[in-house]
Amino acid sequence: MSRGPETPKSDANRSQVLLLVIAYVGFVSLGLPDPVAGVAWPFVRDVFSLSQSSFGLVFIALGCGYCASGFFGGKLTQMLGLGNLLWISSGLVAVAMLGSSLAPVWPLFVACGIVWGLGSGGIDAGLNAYVSSRFSSRHVNWLHACYSLGATLGPLLMTAALVRAGSWRLGYGIVGGLLLLMTILFLITRRRWDEPAPSTDRNAVPSAEVGMREALREPLVWLQVVLFFLYVGLEFTVGQWCFTLLTESRGTPAGTAGMLAGAYYGAIGVGRIAAGAVSQRFGLDRLLRVSMTAALFGAAIFAFAAFAELSYAGLILIGLGLAPVFPCLMARTPQRLGEAYAVHAVGFQVSAGMLGAALIPALAGVLAETWGLQIVAEFAVLLAGLLFQTHELLLNVAGGRNR
């Protein structure tokens, strides 16, 4: 009747559930700061007497920090331990947000962007590697749905600070305070993140036995890196440009365009919740194919629809189609490469995604400057097609190895 021998396993399972919940909250906190800069920008611009193009410096700074910490995420995890990486990274984002709220001059505000990127890249790489290697694709999808929740709440917090207090600095301060609470939570639980999983494959090669250079020599790693570059570039291009395209090129009222931009991100969040419920039964590779096809059709409808309402539906379809792509690709990483390679590959993928987020929307801006805003929608169709074809190439290469 004694249940003594089951206690360690039971305690380990409870610990895993606790850390999964904290990971969910951590991804909400990861999403909070990302859209805040866009809402605050007109007020930041006026305070520092800047041109519109100066906004790009914030994303360049953010991207540099993000790519650096994400790329070396696997190495940092091996050196510091995941628990230490998480609380340090969260602390950096908190410092960056609080620093932005207090920055007296523009160069210091931009420097905070670098710190913000360094912290966000560490959290992104660390939590993605942890959840994708220990939990099912359902939880990876829901993890990224939590990011969408944070990305929805962030603008609301900044808007409330602007409307009620007339202060963008207060908005950054509130986000920084919330990140500080997250840092304390990671700090308290730091030792638990490095505990071994309660049930693992005994034949698996420990991640420490694969170095970063060895992971970079794996062709499948590079194909997945390209996929993340294209995917995040497409998501950000549509998200950042749809409002301007709708209002300035198609004459959509600003209120309607704002709701549609929000609906696009909302569709990504809802789609990830739904994908988490069906991904295991549907199969990740099949779900990815269907999702990428839907995103391609949505992009084509958004670009070439004959009337406005149909193009709006196309925008929402892009969001729904893109929703499972990032989390499902992330969930497939340890399955396809093994945990030894995945600890590095996840960081490479996070960095590639941020690079795509910085470069591809910027390229869309150059195209729009030359050929008009409509070219941005057509560019999205091209990106969606490249995304689908690259994934098919990955499946062919991976399938050839398994024959």
User: Distances from the Cα of 295 to the Cαs of 239, 273, 274, 356, in angstroms?
Assistant: 13, 17, 16, 17
Alpha-carbon gap, residue 114 to 63, rounded angstroms: 8
- Rounded to the nearest angstrom, the gap between the alpha carbon of residue 132 and the centroid of all alpha carbons in its chain is 14
Quick one: pLDDT at residue 365? 83
9 in any annotated domain: no
Quick one: pLDDT at residue 337? 76
CATH number at residue 269: 1.20.1250.20
Do 321 and 258 have their domain in common? yes
In one-letter notation, the amino acid at residue 376 is: V
The SS3 assignment for 47 reads helix
Quick one: pLDDT at residue 95? 97
Last residue of a domain, one of 192, 222, 252: 192
Do 216 and 117 have their domain in common? no
Do 300 and 390 have their domain in common? yes
Alpha-carbon gap, residue 342 to 190, rounded angstroms: 21
Number of structural domains the chain divides into: 2
74 in any annotated domain: yes
Quick one: pLDDT at residue 6? 41
Name the residue among 231, 373, 350 with its Cα closest to residue 288: 231
**Domain range holding 104?**
15-192
Alpha-carbon gap, residue 64 to 77, rounded angstroms: 19
Cβ neighbour number for residue 370 with a 10 Å cutoff = 8
Alpha-carbon gap, residue 363 to 369, rounded angstroms: 10
- Rounded to the nearest angstrom, the gap between the alpha carbon of residue 75 and the centroid of all alpha carbons in its chain is 20
Quick one: pLDDT at residue 12? 55
Residues 300 and 251: beta-carbon distance below 8 Å: no
Residues of the chain with pLDDT below 50 are: 1-9, 200-208, 403
331 in any annotated domain: yes
7 in any annotated domain: no
- Rounded to the nearest angstrom, the gap between the alpha carbon of residue 346 and the centroid of all alpha carbons in its chain is 12
Do 186 and 286 have their domain in common? no
Do 379 and 319 have their domain in common? yes
pLDDT digits (tens, 9 = 90+) for 146-167: 888 887 788 788 888 888 898 9
Do 175 and 49 have their domain in common? yes
372 in any annotated domain: yes
Do 312 and 274 have their domain in common? yes
Alpha-carbon gap, residue 252 to 244, rounded angstroms: 10
Question: Two tokens at 366?
Answer: 């150059």
Helix locations, 245-338, DSSP H:
254-282, 284-304, 308-322, 325-337
Alpha-carbon gap, residue 75 to 61, rounded angstroms: 22
67 in any annotated domain: yes
248 in any annotated domain: yes
Name the residue among 150, 151, 152, 174 with its Cα closest to residue 162: 174
Question: Two tokens at 129?
Answer: 């590697």
Alpha-carbon gap, residue 16 to 20, rounded angstroms: 6
Quick one: pLDDT at residue 205? 42
Do 264 and 167 have their domain in common? no
Alpha-carbon gap, residue 207 to 22, rounded angstroms: 23
322 in any annotated domain: yes
